[in-house]
Amino acid sequence: MVGIGIDLECHVLTVDRQLVGKPQDTDDPAAAVDAFLRSSTARHWQRELAVPVLAKALAVT
């Protein structure tokens, strides 16, 4: 189990280099990450968990 209470093996969300390598067209990293994951067919609950973490990481880089 990971810290958010789900089995990691069952619910892996793969984020490829396209997200990190793309220049962000917006000042809102969370909106950009959410749009990317939505277009990659990530489920709603996956986006809810991943967007804040990925947006924070992208804002730092």
Instruction: For residue range 2-26, list pLDDT tens digits in order.
Output: 455 655 555 556 666 677 666 555 6
Specify the pLDDT at position 11.
Answer: 54
Specify the pLDDT at position 24.
Answer: 59
Tokens 């990317």 belong to residue: 36
Phi/psi for 30 (5° steps) reads: -65, -40
So where are the chain's domains?
Answer: 8-60
Specify the pLDDT at position 14.
Answer: 67
pLDDT tens digits, 36-59: 889 888 889 889 988 998 888 887
